[in-house]
Amino acid sequence: MNPMHATALRGLAILGGTLLLASCATPPPAPVVPAGPPPLTDAQIVEATRAAGRDGVELVVTPLVDPHVEDLRERAEKAQAANRPQRADRELLKALEITPDDPDLLQWRAELAVLRQARDEAEVLAKRSIALGPKSGPLCRRNWTLVKLLRESRGEAENATSAAAMLERCTIAPPVRM
């Protein structure tokens, strides 16, 4: 055999062996992506929403409530305290028959919808409350907190960011007093 051919064959054998070994190598492990916080439960979403409505320093004007609606609200509160969100929702539906455009009742129903695991309905109700309700204050914060948390739970980061921006507008700083 020609020495040049022998060298070429040896080179091909080495190259083939290298390729064979390379094909047997295990790929590097996938990078570990740190897990974010676990998703919020329905109860945690509702609690965070209600907490947003409690935080604030602004003056809130509350309209007079029809006594029959007040009775239905109390019955809804009792049903909710007894962990009966469907019953509470039925009482609020009765109240909405009397005052159909009450943004507070709509928001409350939205929160109950979350507890009933009806998150799509919850966002629809919250948006209706937003359309009818005040553009600042506790109810506004509850509205936009719920929408933000629902969007986050669906992995809609851009939409959640938009809701967070609207949430920021709900709190108006009090005037500086000298």
6-42 residue pLDDT tens: 665 566 566 665 655 556 656 666 655 555 678 889 9
pLDDT given at position 154:
93
> In sequence order, which residues have a C-beta less than 8 Å from that of residue 167 and are 6 or more positions away?
52, 141, 144, 145, 148
Q: Which residue type is seen at 87? A: R
- C-alpha distance across the termini of the chain, in Å: 103
* Helix (H) or strand (E) run with residue 49 in it: helix 42-54
Rounded CA separation 37/153 (Å): 11
> In sequence order, which residues have a C-beta less than 8 Å from that of residue 79 and are 6 or more positions away?
85, 87, 88, 91
CB contact at 8 A, 97 and 131:
no
Determine the Cα angle at 172 with ends 170 and 178, to 5°.
170
The CATH H-level (homologous superfamily) assignment of domain 42-168 is Tetratricopeptide repeat domain (1.25.40.10)
Q: Is 55 exposed, middle or buried (0-12, 13-18, 19+ CB in 10 A)?
A: exposed
pLDDT given at position 155:
93
Structure tokens given for 172: 């108006």
Q: What is the pLDDT along the chain (178 residues), one digit of tens a residue?
A: 566 656 655 665 666 656 555 566 566 666 555 556 788 899 999 999 999 988 666 666 667 778 899 999 999 999 999 999 999 999 999 999 999 999 999 999 999 999 999 999 999 999 999 999 999 999 999 999 999 999 999 999 999 999 999 999 998 877 777 7
